[in-house]
Amino acid sequence: KDRGRNRSVLFESAMSLAQRDHSRIAQDLRYAITRNELALHYQPIVDLTTAEVIGVEALLRWQQQGHAERPPELFVPVAEKTGLIIPIGAWALREACRQGRRWHEVHPRLGDLSVAVNISGRQLMDHRFPGTVRQILEETGFPATSLVLEITESILVADAESAADRIRTLRDLGVRISIDDFGTGYSSLAHLRDLPVDIVKIDQSFALGGSAEVDAGLIEAILNLGYALGLDVVAEGIETPEQADRLRALGCPLGQGFYYCRPMPPTALEAYLATEATLTSSEPST
Ligand code: C2E
Ligand code: MG
Ligand code: MG
Ligand code: MG
């Protein structure tokens, strides 16, 4: 009984610590946009057979004066809870489209580079969201067909019917939809069949995971599913050449991970793309 009480005391203090953290982050986050503390880093998505970059994923970074960098896994949930994800998400979308447009112009070879932006559940279901997407596309001149919206599988499962409706509206604008972290959200086959999506991203736990044989079987199953439903498949979290080889051997067309490139600021990515361009566009000598 005594121990039980001690435990609940410990539990309470841990809770209040988490709550203090939460309200501190919420407070600071309120000023993050106006103080210019947010940035996007970009990670290439590559063709696994040619290593050619076909697109990038935009990932939010928060650099607050006098703080160690806070990872999105820490502050995105707070932004989501407080509703701050609405202005922050719109900022990220606008910034990514602006950057994408610039890349299309500056690098003729990257004229069809796609840019993927992560969308949270609250953002997706906000009634203003489709209007925001349309407005940002108009304003930035970024082609809708080059924009990919990444939505985690768990969000699509939570309220499948409204999510499917919303996705249809978004696809009518011409953008593509990607299911993020696939394999972790318990969606059913029927679900997936009825979801109007374009891309499936295999969760990184499959590339990194324990039993190679089991993972290979599961990856094959997801690849077959993608093939049957006419979806593109991207493997996330590729960290080693062995993982890349294994995925390629299984027939996975696209991938992303530290082995190819870490997420980096736009200028660093441009330098990477420039060397990559000379590598993949070099004609065989005659
Ligand atoms: P995600 O969308 O699944 O993004 C992939 C995450 O895996 C990124 O973490 C990326 O840096 C990391 N990653 C990439 N390659 C590798 C690898 O080879 N190994 C390992 N271990 N990790 C790799 P990051 O940037 O910390 O973002 C974490 C999550 O935060 C994202 O997962 C996404 O769910 C969320 N997030 C990031 N930016 C945004 C945003 O602008 N809006 C919203 N709503 N969520 C965001
Ligand atoms: Mg993502
Ligand atoms: Mg993911
Ligand atoms: Mg993730």
Q: Which residues pair with 264 in a beta bridge?
A: 42
- How much is the pLDDT for 9? 56
Residue identifier of the C-alpha nearest atom 35 of ligand 1: 72
| Average pLDDT, 10 consecutive residues per value, the chain (286 residues) | 54 66 89 94 96 95 90 95 97 98 84 94 96 98 98 88 94 97 83 90 80 80 93 95 92 96 95 71 44
Q: Look at residues 179, 243, 216 and name the one whose alpha carbon lies nearest to residue 48.
A: 243
Find tokens 């991938």 and name the residue. Answer: 255
Ligand 3 centroid to residue 54 C-alpha, Å: 17
CA of 265 to the centre of ligand 3 (A): 19
Q: What was the pLDDT predicted at 21?
A: 82
* Predicted pLDDT of residue 286: 40
CA 255, CA 47: separation in Å to the nearest integer? 7
- Using CA atoms, how far apart are residues 25 and 47, in angstroms rounded to an integer? 38
The yes/no answer to whether this complex scores an ipTM above 0.90 is yes
Half-sphere exposure of residue 56: CA atoms within 13 angstroms, side-chain side: 28
Token match 């063709």: residue? 47
Which residue's CA lies nearest to atom 22 of ligand 1? 237
Identity (one letter) of the amino acid at 55? G
User: For 22, how many CA atoms within 13 A lie in the half-sphere containing its CB?
Assistant: 11
User: What pLDDT sits at residue 7?
Assistant: 58
Rounded to whole angstroms, how far apart are CA atoms 214 and 219? 9
Quote the pLDDT of residue 268.
95
Which residues are close to ligand 2, an ion, with C-beta < 5 A?
Answer: 118, 150, 180
DSSP 195-247: S--SEEEE-HHHHH-S-HHHHHHHHHHHHHHHHHHT-EEEE----SHHHHHHH
Radius of gyration of the chain (CA): 20
| C-alpha span between 75 and 62 (Å, rounded) | 9
